[in-house]
Structure formats: structure tokens, C-alpha cells
């Protein structure tokens, strides 16, 4: 079933509205010529009409003979969330990616970005010129924060109210298709962030249809989307079709599903399972794999387990625990949810399992939390040191570049990029972008704007933040969040960029590092809690890599037992080449090839990391 308007060719278009509670519905075409055309309802509550209409036609759906409302499944809102929807011809774009198969999940190096702040112009088209730079860095996948139509022209995207419509100020349908096609030409996969747990507060005309939301459950944004209450079948279809729409019509390679812990479905067949099943069917039909990546703070491996194992079938998930333990070790922060982290032994556990909390008592939550995901391979976990949430939800939007030392920034890069998991960068971290990434909106309702300001202030109270947050409604807040890409050619910024590039070259060229782990038998990790040193060894065939990471702010004397082989130093963040004070580690760590033997003591520079390779 095609929801919304669908251009059929020959000057004809079909229109479909799911609204089982309406007594009557009509298509109200307002341009180029005004017409009011009654619609007929089928036995499932869908209203249909096929009539003369061409691409560019502007229309509303009229409810019960009175209210004109935009199409809930609109593909284009050229004049914003409160105005008429537009008929789009999805068949005219000339794709050039016929042979594209996508980057396998286990090989992805993801770069999360926000369209509006990634370039001065803040459009899809403007992004295209920067793709070669990302590829030169070593990125093979970009993740775009939500682009569903939101009110105004600046927003993170999580206030979207038309899940099928591409934000007009970014470039709309055509602009997004041009960007995806350009990415595929450059060898880059595209992940799109989608929001299936709530809709934004302004321009959300689905409320008036009486079926899309339920008060059975509450989310941080109000009533939950109705996935299991009366009249939920059309809601489920709506979001399943949205999933397929991005894959089929935009050639998107993967979707990141925002905050699935706020999706409530206690039916026998969870909506995430239904989405994953539909995605698998489309993958089979088209002949290439489409991926689903969940964001969840449940630490529940059912989300990523296969349906055969009682899971929902998501391909991967963000590991919040990885970020949290890394952040606390490097910053020392212990407010809010960070109070559950900060113990060094937790860092070894995150490498061993994928979660820190696997049915352990959480002081912050005041209950036991999580379950053991050891049966889930490392390639199912996406890890990062920074992302839009963890930077932008700080009161001042401050990044690691202003929170921790230059040495600690390099250490963070090693922990993420050489891990057995799928690594993700947040735009600008690779050169230490000094500008913050702040929260910004452009709502038109003064009361709503004031509520947003108040809500943000209450959130920061949990983190004991003092002072006043930048005004999210201000244009200046948005402009302050834009990247300064020229910085990557200057001083330490350039050094950090080159350090990231060197790490990614290792990940791409050394067999032991080339992909995220397919199981947990291709690496081992051990930690020295008192010294705050972590040892990570990864291998594949005859290729072995040893990563040593010192989180202490002091030099550490180490005496280590190494596996057999001749270990040659490939990279040391303390080296003067990388802006360090000078390496104190030997260039070669020889061992007996038939047995492990103790090594002599050596000094390890504070907050540094070294990589040794044995082949």
C-alpha cells in the first residue's frame, strides 16, 4: 500500500489517508486549481481517491467536512509544517548507483553529522563537496541526524512531525537523493536517523486523527505512539512503510532508530520485530542488505538478537555504556547517570561484553539493570566517545576539545577506532572542533518556546550545571554550533586530524583490525585497575595487534607478559610527531616465539596509547 499521495504518471495521482475514526474525508486540492473531491473508505479504515493531479500539486485532506489538514504521510511540505502538502514524482530521479552493494556493517566507520551545522549553507547539496575529505580521513559511512520535516529551518530533527517528508530547508526530496547518490559514488554508505517513538509538538496534525497516540504509556515527550492499543494496525503500517520508503526510494543503506526504549508495544509481535522482518524481505527482493541500528538504554540484548532466539532482529545498537565509562574516566564527571560509571574495571568489561551493566545494581536507577549480551557478536555494537546526545545535551554543548587534554583526546580516539566494535565519530571530533554543539529550535509558538527553555533548565539540574544555557530559539545558538572546517589545517587541530587518519589507516590495512569482531574469540582484554592501564589484543590469522592504553595522569612503570612474536611499535600517541612529549616505550618488544616470557619494565607516558603489531 502506498500511503499519502503517489504520482501514477499520465497526469494521475492516488491519495490514501488512514483515518478510521473520520465520518467523511475529502481531498482538497488548493493549487494549481482548487478542487474538493470526496474520498471513499475501505473496510480497514483507509480513505482513497485517484484523480487528475501532477507533481507540484498542493493539497490538504479535509476532515469531516470542516478542517483542512496536511497529509500525515506527506512526502513534501515546501512551505513548512502548517501549509499544504505537495505531490512528488518519486520516479524521475536518475540514479547512478545501480551496482552499489553498500559497506558491510562489520566494516563501517561511521561519521555522525547534522545537515544544518555541517556546512555554512546547511544543505544536502553543500555536503557533497566535503565527501572526498571524509573519505580521505578514512570514513566509509555517514550517519545523518533526522531530516523529517520539522517546524522552522533549524532543529536537531527530533521535533519532526512529517516522518515521510524531507526537510524543505535542507533541499527536500531531490536534495537528499542527490546526496545519497553522491555518497555511493564516493564509496560511502548512508545511515539515516529516524524517530519512531514520538513526534514533535508543533505541526503534529496526527493528534487530531485520534488513533496515532495512546495514553496507556507516557514518554519524555508525552503520550506514546500507539503500537498496541485499539486502532494500532494502521499506525504500525505507517511506520513499517516509512522504514521501507527510505530504503526503497532513497537508497539509504541503514536506519538508526532513535530511543527504542520509548517505543511501547506489549503485543505478541513487537513493532521492532515487524520492522526488521519487513526490512529483511526488502533486502531479499532488491538483492542487497539493509541494516537497522537501534538506540536503546535498556541494555537488553533481545533488541539485537535474532527472532529465532526470541529477539527483535535489529542488526546493531549504540552502546551508551561504552561512551559513559570512557567519558567518566577522562573527565572525572560523576553527576546524573555518570554516577554509575568511573570504575576502571568497568572499561575492561565493556570490551568483554558490550555493556557495563548486565543485571547489576545501578545507583542512578536505584534498581538492577541490563542483561548479558555475550552471545551477541561485537559487530552488533556501535561505540563512540562523543555523539549529538552526549555533547548537545550538555548545558554548554561542550566537546572533548574543551573538556579534556589533547593527550586524552588522542587516547579516546584509540579506544574507539581500534576497538572490536563498529566505531562512530561525531562531526568535528577528528580535528578537535572548538565550537560547541548546542540544542536549537525555531518554533513559532512563544508558549512552546518558553516550555522548551524551562524543560532544558530542569534537565541540567540533574547534572548540577550552573549558569544559564544558551537560548535554544536564538539564531546565534544555531550559528555558534556550525563547524569550522578550516581548523583542520591548523596546529594541533591538524595533528589530531592526521592522528585519526593514521588510526583509520591501521584499521583498514591491518588484517586483525579490518572489521568489527564476528565473535568474541578474536580478541582479549585485561586491565590493571590500580595503574589504570588496559591491554587489548586482537588477531586474525597470523596478524596480531596489541593496544596499550594508559588512563592515568601519571607515568606508569609496566612489567608485562606478552604473547609469542616480535612486537613492533606502529603508533604511539606520546610521540612528538603527534604533539606528545616524546615516547618512552621501546620500538620493539621481542618475545620467545614458542612461549610467553616476562618483559623488562618500561615507562608508559600518562594518558597515552601505543599500538604494537606482530605479523
Domain ranges of the chain: 4-86, 105-507, 526-614
> Catalytic pick from 228, 258, 297, 333?
258
CATH number 1.20.210.10 is the correct assignment for the domain at 4-86: no
Contact between 3 and 18 under an 8 Å Cβ cutoff? The reply is yes
- Judge if the upstream peptide bond of residue 32 is cis by omega within 30 degrees of 0: yes
Q: Kindly state the helix (H) or strand (E) to which residue 497 belongs, with its residue range.
A: helix 491-509
Percent of the chain that is helix, strand, coil (3-state, to 5): 30, 25, 45
In terms of CATH, what superfamily is 105-507?
A: Glycosidases (3.20.20.80)
**Quick check: helix, strand or coil at residue 519?**
coil
Strand 254-257 with 291-294, pairing: parallel
Q: Do domains 4-86 and 105-507 have the same CATH topology?
A: no
Annotated catalytic residue 186: no
**E strand intervals along 472-542:** 523-528, 533-540
CB environment 542-569: b (16+ within 10 A), e (fewer): eebbbbbbbbbeeebebebebeebebeb
pLDDT value for 459? 76
DSSP assignments along 527-579, one per residue: EETTTTEEEEEEEETTEEEEEEEE-SSS-EEE--EE-SSEEEEEEETTSGGGT
pLDDT value for 265? 97
| Residue whose C-alpha is closest to residue 437's, from 476, 391, 505, 497 | 391
pLDDT value for 468? 81
In angstroms, the CA 347 to CA 525 distance is: 10
In terms of CATH, what superfamily is 526-614?
A: Golgi alpha-mannosidase II (2.60.40.1180)
pLDDT value for 453? 82
In angstroms, the CA 467 to CA 461 distance is: 10
Identify the segments of the chain with pLDDT beneath 70.
Answer: 462-466, 590-600
> Catalytic pick from 274, 295, 321, 433?
295
Handedness of CA 248, 249, 251, 254 (dihedral sign): negative
pLDDT value for 566? 85
Contact between 237 and 18 under an 8 Å Cβ cutoff? The reply is yes
Q: State how far the alpha carbon of 144 is from the alpha carbons of 175, 295, 371, 391, 573, in Å.
A: 13, 14, 30, 16, 30
Annotated catalytic residue 112: no
pLDDT value for 594? 53
Amino acid at each position: 500500500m502506498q500511503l499519502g499521495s503517489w504520482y501514477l504518471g499520465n497526469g494521475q495521482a492516488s491519495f490514501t489517508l488512514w483515518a478510521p475514526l473520520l465520518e467523511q474525508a475529502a481531498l482538497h486540492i488548493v493549487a494549481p486549481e482548487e478542487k474538493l473531491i470526496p474520498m471513499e473508505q475501505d473496510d480497514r479504515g483507509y480513505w482513497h481517491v485517484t484523480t487528475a493531479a501532477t507533481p507540484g500539486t498542493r493539497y490538504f485532506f479535509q476532515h469531516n467536512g470542516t478542517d483542512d489538514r496536511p497529509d500525515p504521510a506527506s512526502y513534501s511540505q515546501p512551505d513548512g509544517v502548517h501549509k499544504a502538502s505537495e505531490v512528488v514524482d518519486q520516479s524521475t530521479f536518475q540514479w547512478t548507483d545501480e551496482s552499489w552493494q553498500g559497506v558491510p556493517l562489520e566494516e563501517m566507520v561511521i561519521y555522525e553529522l547534522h545537515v544544518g551545522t555541517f556546512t555554512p549553507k546547511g544543505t544536502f547539496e553543500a555536503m557533497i563537496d566535503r565527501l572526498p575529505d571524509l573519505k580521505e580521513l578514512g570514513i566509509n559511512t555517514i550517519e545523518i541526524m533526522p531530516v523529517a520535516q520539522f517546524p522552522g529551518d533549524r532543529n536537531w530533527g527530533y521535533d519532526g512531525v512529517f516522518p515521510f517528508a524531507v526537510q524543505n530547508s535542507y533541499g527536500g526530496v531531490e536534495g537528499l537523493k542527490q546526496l545519497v547518490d553522491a555518497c555511493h559514488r564516493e564509496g560511502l554508505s548512508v545511515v539515516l536517523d529516524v524517530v519512531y517513538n514520538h513526534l514533535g509538538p508543533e505541526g503534529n496534525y496526527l493528534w487530531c486523527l485520534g488513533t496515532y497516540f495512546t495514553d496507556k504509556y507516557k514518554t519524555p515527550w508525552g503520550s506514546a505512539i500507539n503500537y498496541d492499543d485499539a486502532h494500532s494496525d494502521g499506525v504500525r503500517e505507517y511506520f513499517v512503510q516509512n522504514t521501507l520508503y527510505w530504503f526503497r526510494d532513497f537508497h539509504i543503506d541503514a536506519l538508526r532508530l532513535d530511543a527504542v526504549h520509548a517505543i511501547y508495544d506489549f503485543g505478541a509481535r513487537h513493532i521492532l520485530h515487524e520492522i526488521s522482518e519487513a526490512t529483511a524481505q526488502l533486502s531479499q527482493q532488491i538483492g542487497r542488505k539493509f541494516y537497522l541500528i537501534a538506540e536503546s538504554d535498556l541494555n537488553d540484548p533481545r533488541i539485537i538478537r535474532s527472532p529465532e532466539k526470541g529477539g527483535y532482529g535489529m542488526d546493531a545498537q549504540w552502546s551508551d555504556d561504552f561512551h559513559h565509562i570512557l567519558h567518566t574516566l577522562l573527565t572525572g564527571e560523576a553527576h546524573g547517570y555518570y554516577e554509575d560509571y568511573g570504575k576502571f574495571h568497568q572499561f575492561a568489561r565493556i570490551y568483554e561484553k558490550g555493556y557495563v551493566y548486565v543485571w547489576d545494581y545501578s545507583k542512578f536507577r536505584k534498581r538492577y539493570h541490563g542483561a548479558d549480551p555475550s552471545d551477541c557478536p561485537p559487530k552488533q555494537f556501535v561505540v563512540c566517545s562523543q555523539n549529538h546526545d552526549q555533547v548537545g545535551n550538555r548545558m554548554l554543548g561542550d566537546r572533548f576539545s574543551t573538556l579534556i587534554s589533547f593527550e586524552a583526546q588522542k587516547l579516546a580516539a584509540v579506544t574507539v577506532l581500534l576497538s572490536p566494535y563498529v566505531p562512530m565519530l561525531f562531526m568535528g571530533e577528528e580535528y578537535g572542533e572548538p565550537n560547541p554543539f548546542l540544542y536549537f529550535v525555531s518554533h513559532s509558538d512563544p508558549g512552546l518556546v518558553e516550555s522548551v527553555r524551562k524543560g532544558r533548565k530542569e534537565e541540567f539540574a540533574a547534572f548540577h550545571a550552573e549558569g544559564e544555557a544558551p537560548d535554544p530559539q536564538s539564531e546565534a545558538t544555531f550559528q555558534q554550533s556550525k563547524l569550522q572546517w578550516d581548523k583542520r589545517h591548523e596546529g594541533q587541530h591538524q595533528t589530531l586530524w592526521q592522528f585519526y587518519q593514521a588510526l583509520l589507516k591501521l584499521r583498514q590495512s591491518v588484517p586483525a583490525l579490518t572489521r568489527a569482531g564476528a565473535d568474541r574469540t578474536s580478541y582479549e582484554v585485561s586491565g590493571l585497575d590500580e595503574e589504570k592501564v588496559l591491554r587489548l589484543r586482537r588477531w586474525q590469522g597470523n596478524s596480531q595487534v596489541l593496544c596499550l592504553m594508559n588512563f592515568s595522569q601519571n607515568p606508569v612503570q609496566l612489567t608485562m607478559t606478552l604473547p609469542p612474536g616480535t612486537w613492533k611499535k606502529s603508533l604511539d600517541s606520546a610521540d612528538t610527531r603527534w604533539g606528545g612529549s616524546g615516547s618512552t616505550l621501546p620500538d620493539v618488544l621481542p618475545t620467545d616465539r614458542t612461549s610467553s616470557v616476562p618483559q623488562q619494565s618500561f615507562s608508559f607516558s600518562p594518558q597515552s596509547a601505543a599500538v604494537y603489531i606482530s605479523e
